[in-house]
A and B are shown apart, each in its own frame.
Chain A
Amino acid sequence: DIQLTQSPSFLSAAVGDRVTITCRASQGISNYLAWYQQNSGKPPKLLIYATSTLESGVPSRFSGSGSGTEFTLTISSLQPEDFATYYCQHLKSYPRNFGPGTKVDIK
């Protein structure tokens, strides 16, 4: 099975900050990686798929990059509505595991 790790698990940032979250896969997954945002008590929301393709309606301050085993989600200028938990997920094979999540909190 392909396992995902995320770093950091928690980060504190201010509005306007540039934020980067890293996701690492236990083996190569090509570009089969997605990122989700989840607010407390809500279902996850798809942000990015295929490593770097922005889902329709997602602000352009979100971007994704990487390939193989290392991937990043970047928020170029953090907005108040971005304080949430972010998960990566691989879509290479079953099981379609998620990373453990990164909580972005207000500094």
Chain B
Amino acid sequence: QVQVEESGGGVVQPGKSLRLSCAASGFIFSVYGMHWVRQAPGKGLEWVAGTGYDASDKGYADSVKGRFTISRDNSKKTVSLQMNSLRVEDTAVYYCARDGAAAGNDAFDVWGQGTTVTVSS
């Protein structure tokens, strides 16, 4: 079935790096934009980064610009989030989500279960 699954979360010290991955299955990955959304403990949803279907169009939240990089590998059906210079305030559950525009659903129509990132000394 159509699904995405995140991996790579963990506990990391401030200033360190972490790389999250999202594996897609059940759909033609190469025609869909993909995004990362995070949710800090007890807080709302925060869009983090997104990439178009061919990686030519990327965007970042101001809070992560210059520190996080989104990339995708259409041959492996994966999207990644390289997180550098991590801060305590980056602690959150990170969700991978599909942009359903290619299916006519101009919204995030498929979500993973999330992976937890904790930044702490």
Contacts and interface: CB of A to CB of B under 8 A. Distances in A.
A98 B47 contact: yes
Interface in A85-107: 85, 87, 89, 91, 94-101
Interface residues of B, number: 24
Contact of B45 (A38, A46, A55, A95): A38
Contacts of A50: 106-107
B98 to A, nearest CB: 10
A88 to B, nearest CB: 10
A15 to B, nearest CB: 25
6 contacts: A44-B37, A44-B95, A49-B106, A91-B107, A95-B61, A96-B47
A89 B47 contact: yes
A43 B111 contact: yes
B109 A98 contact: no
Contacts of A45: 111
Given A49-B106, A94-B50, A100 B112 contact: no
A95 B106 contact: no
Interface residues of A, number: 25
A32 interface: yes
Given A94-B59, A95-B62, A96-B35, A46 B47 contact: no
A1 interface: yes
B44 A34 contact: no
Contacts of B112: 43
A89 B45 CA distance: 10
A49 B110 CA distance: 13
Interface string B11-53: 0000000000000000000000001010000001111001000
